[in-house]
Each structure stands twice: as structure tokens, then as C-alpha cells.
Amino acid sequence: MNQIHLNNIISDDLAGFRLDQALAKLFPQFSRSQLQQWIEKGGVTVNQKKIIKSKDRVYPGQKVELNVTLENREEWTAEALPLDIVFEDESLLVINKPPGLVVHPGAGNLRSTLVNALLYYDTELQKLPRAGLIHRLDKDTSGLLLIARNLTAFHHLSQQMQQRTIHRSYAAIVEGSPKLMDTINLAIGRHPTQRTKMSVLMHGGRSAVTHFKVLEKFLTHAYLDIELETGRTHQIRVHMAYINHPILGDPVYGKSHRYDRLSEELSQQIADFKRQALHAKKISFRHPVTEELVTLESNLPDDLENLLQAFRKYNATSL
């Protein structure tokens, strides 16, 4: 068992939220049900006052603290699955996740996830929240993921994530021809009617900021460099779809397109691309022990690189 000591301040966008809802936003590394259990057991304080009711409301400026014991999670099974390790030391791991790999065990995906592989690689991760994962990637998004290997590193890196000092860049191919450079500052929350989706909300969502610049423009698509200032669920996919430039191949937020202006070969290659064309290519953070800046990059996976080369080839021949 390990002791967890974390704190944060209630922001304006969480005003009036239930305590458990606010904690789930402030500490996304824990599930809401786990947070509710800790509240009921007296492990949460607000302005140094112990609170045991999840439905109590919170207000801006209040200091919330978690002082709880994390039990071992024997229900997560360690599995000998391959890992593409970009960086590792005693404090952390950075993994290059392939497309199609689920990150965390859940309903319908209890085995063969990244977490199952991590627990086999390092059994100590069983003692950490979410096996040390500091952030997540969608199943069909590839790229870099940061994992802490002990509680000290977990706390340090989690604070960096909350303070927005971990910088993440993505490569993406989007539909259409967006501005050469832009910032999307639109709140995101759960879709009001389709609860498995997220959406831009004019009222009640959480602050979400995405920066992008166009690296290359093609006839019907564009290749973008995207930087996250915040890290909301599906943030890039939701923001790009909202400005009518969804990520190519996005099955949830994209739209069906016909590409009459493209060659039959390229149109078929686009149709055969069965995931969102999104890759977490770069991450930068302060090392939890040395405080040195660590910057790591990942090459595009073959499927995305091949698609990009096909666009380049067609763009050159169509001029």
C-alpha cells in the first residue's frame, strides 16, 4: 500500500460542481468511483475541513486535498506484450504506443492493453494510480505516453500536467484547407445527448485550448502540427471537427467524403485508412528528480507516413 498526498485549487470553471465531479476533473488519474470512496472514508478535505459527502458543492479558490491510501490492484493482469520504450530510468518510462492498442483496462477490454503490458514489465507499477500513467491516448491515436515508476515521480509529473507545463505536440492530417495558423479556445464537455461523445459547449464545459499550424497543404487535405495547452478528452478531434476540419479517418467526429478531385488510387488509400490520422509525436517535461528538461520525439508510424507520402506524390503530379 502507498500513501497519496495531492492538492489543487478549485478553478472558476468548476464553480458549483459536486465535490466528486470536481475531483474527477482535477485528478483525472483516478476514477470517479474511486474518488467517491475516498470522500466517504474521510480522505478528502476542502479548505482543511474533512468532507464525507460527494454531493457537496465546491467554489472557486477552495483548496482540495487528497490524503488517502492506495491499495494494490490485483484485478489487473500482467501480460508479456511488446513495448516500444523510447526512454526509461528509475523514475519514469516513455512509451511509443502503436495505433489500435487500448491504453487502460475497462469494460470489454480487460486484457491485452498497454497497462497489462506495463505491469509485466515493471511489477511496481501495480502500486501506482492507473499503473503510473500521467495521461492517455485514444485507442487509435499513436505516439508518446508518459508513465511514472514511483509515487514521487507520479506526484511530480501529475502536478506538471495540472499546471500545463508538460508540452505535447501532435501530427495530424485533416480534411479541407484550414488557416495557416490558429488557436482554438473553446470549452469541451460531455455531449448533451450522445453521452459517449465529447463536444464544444458554450456553457458548462471545461476550458480547452488547442494551437495548430499548417505544415503542408494538399488539394483536399492538410498536414498539421498541433500543440495542446490543455488535455481534455478527445480535445484535438473535437476542436478540429468543430471548425469543419476533422481529423482524416475519425470514425466518431469525422464526416463521410467523396474525393472526386483525387485519383482513384489515392481515394482508395484514404478509404483504407481505418483510424484517425493523429500521432503524438513530441513530449517535453521536467524530470521529477533532476528537474532537467526532457524532450522526446517519435517518428510517424508506417501507416500515417505512407498516407502522407501518397498525398505528397499526388500533390506534386497534380500541379
Q: Beta 44-46 vs 142-148: how paired, if at all?
A: unpaired
Supply the pLDDT for residue 2.
Answer: 65
Q: Which of 270, 284, 286, 183 is nearest to 226 (CA)?
A: 183
Q: In what order do the strands lie in the sheet with 63-70?
A: 2-9, 63-70, 44-46, 49-50
Residue 319 in this model has a pLDDT that exceeds 50: no
Output phi, psi for 167, to 5 deg: -105, 130
Q: What is the 3-state secondary structure (H, E, C) of 149-203?
A: CCHHHHHHHHHHHHCCCCEEEEEEEEECCCCCEEEEECCEEECCCCCCCEEECCC
pLDDT tens digits along 275-293: 999 999 999 999 999 999 9
Buried b (16+ CB within 10 A) or exposed e, 64-84: bbbebebeebeebebeebebe
Residue type at position 148: A
Helices (H), the chain: 19-26, 32-40, 114-121, 151-162, 235-242, 264-271, 302-318
The span from the CA of 302 to the CA of 220, in Å, is 21
**Rounded distance, CA 70 to CA 34, Å?**
10
Report whether pLDDT(15) > 60: yes
Structure confidence at residue 159 (pLDDT): 86
Q: What is the mean pLDDT of residues 31-49?
A: 89
Q: Cell 469543419, residue?
A: 244
Percentage of the chain beyond pLDDT 70 is 96
d(CA 314, CA 89) in angstroms, rounded, equals: 44
Query: Chain-wide mean pLDDT for the chain?
Result: 91
The pLDDT of residue 129 is above 90: no
Position 8 pLDDT exceeds 80: yes
* Ramachandran region, residue 210 (left: φ > 0; alpha: ψ -120 to 50; beta: rest): beta
> Tens digits of per-residue pLDDT, 154-197?
989 988 988 889 999 999 999 999 999 999 999 999 898 887 89
- Residue 122 appears among annotated catalytic residues: no
In the predicted model, is pLDDT for residue 71 greater than 90? Answer: no
In the beta sheet, which residues pair with residue 200? 188
Asked if residue 66 has pLDDT above 70, the reply is yes
CA-based nearest residue to 271, from 299, 307, 239, 222: 307
Does residue 74 surpass a pLDDT of 60?
A: no
Give the total residue count for the chain. 319
How far CA 240 is from CA of 147, 178, 184, 204, 245, in Å, comes to 27, 9, 9, 20, 5
Q: Which residues pair with 69 in a beta bridge?
A: 3
Q: Which of 141-145, 203-207, 235-239, 302-306 has the lowest mean pLDDT?
A: 203-207
Query: Exactly one of 138, 140, 250, 303 is catalytic; which is it?
Result: 138
Q: Give the whole-angstrom CA distance, residue 311 versus residue 187.
A: 33
> Measured between alpha carbons, how far is 285 from 279 in angstroms, rounded to an integer?
18
Distance CA 17, CA 254 (A): 31
What number is the average pLDDT over the span 218-241?
Answer: 95
Tens digit of each residue's pLDDT (9 = 90 or more) over 259-268: 888 888 999 9
Region 35-54 average pLDDT: 91
Beta strands in 71-129 (DSSP E): 85-88, 92-97
What is the rounded average pLDDT of the residues 65-80?
77
Give kind and range of the element (H or E) at residue 45: strand 44-46
- Please state, in angstroms and rounded to a whole number, the distance separating the CA atoms of residues 61 and 54: 18
pLDDT at 73: 54
